[in-house]
Amino acid sequence: MGPCCRWMAGDREAHCEIAKRFAEVIAKLYVPLAGGTPWPQTNQKPADDLLAKTEPCEAIRFTDVFYSGISSGRDSGRADRTELGPTCQYQDGFATATVQIVTGTGGLAQLPKRAGAQLKESSFGTLPGRTEQTADACLLSVQFGNGQVLQLEFKPKNQRDYPATCQLAQVVMASAMTSHIPVGS
């Protein structure tokens, strides 16, 4: 018996079976099979203007970078700024993750490509994306509906971790993006 059913009075097994059937019906109705079409009212991305009203340390939080192995702790993001916009950096003995919000609205096309990087144009969920892999770092860029771009550069400190840089960047970005998708209507 699962922990969800322990508090119920009456026939717990019957209650649990009803709860299980209900969950299955909901899942079959609203969750598509792999590659299927989601229910039209299901939000699939963060708000188009999220980056216009969010700081980099809020767009990607310390809890998001924790999934990549960076355990820098709460309030560890160091805010700064470049010519492209505000930044936030998380760092520990394993790696450095730098978040950048590109405040211009020209999208990925406005961003210079890194010299010597392996470039891959793709999508991140339903949003346009670009990955730039260098020997020791990965820069993942995701374009929002208003043309602003959220970038994450992930750079491990140990050479043995270099091959996984883009995978780790994607894990961090997925965690962050998921936390900003509005639930309900």
pLDDT, mean of residues 82-88 = 96
* C-alpha R_g of the chain: 20
Q: What residue type is 94 in one-letter code?
A: F
Residue written as token pair 């019906």: 25
Instruction: List b or e across 79-109, with b for residues whose CB sees 16 or more CB atoms inside 10 angstroms.
Output: eeeeebbbbbbbbbebbbbbbbbbeeeebbe
SS in 3 state form for 63-125?
Answer: HHHHCCCCCCCCCCCEEEEECCEEEEEEECCCEEEEEEEECCCCHHHHCCCCCCCEEEEEEEC
Confidence of residue 84 (pLDDT cuts 50, 70, 90): very high
3 three-state secondary structure: helix
Residues 6 or more apart from 22 whose CB is under 8 A from it?
none
| DSSP structure class, residue 94 | S
pLDDT at 5 over 60: no
Residues β-bridged to residue 119:
132
Alpha-carbon gap, residue 123 to 129, rounded angstroms: 4
- Range in 24-28, 90-94, 137-141, 155-159 the model is least confident about: 24-28
Give me the pLDDT at residue 6, please.
47
pLDDT at 2 over 60: no
* Mean pLDDT, the chain, integer: 86
Instruction: List b or e across 5-33, with b for residues whose CB sees 16 or more CB atoms inside 10 angstroms.
Output: beeeeeeeeebbeeeeeeeeeeeeeeeee
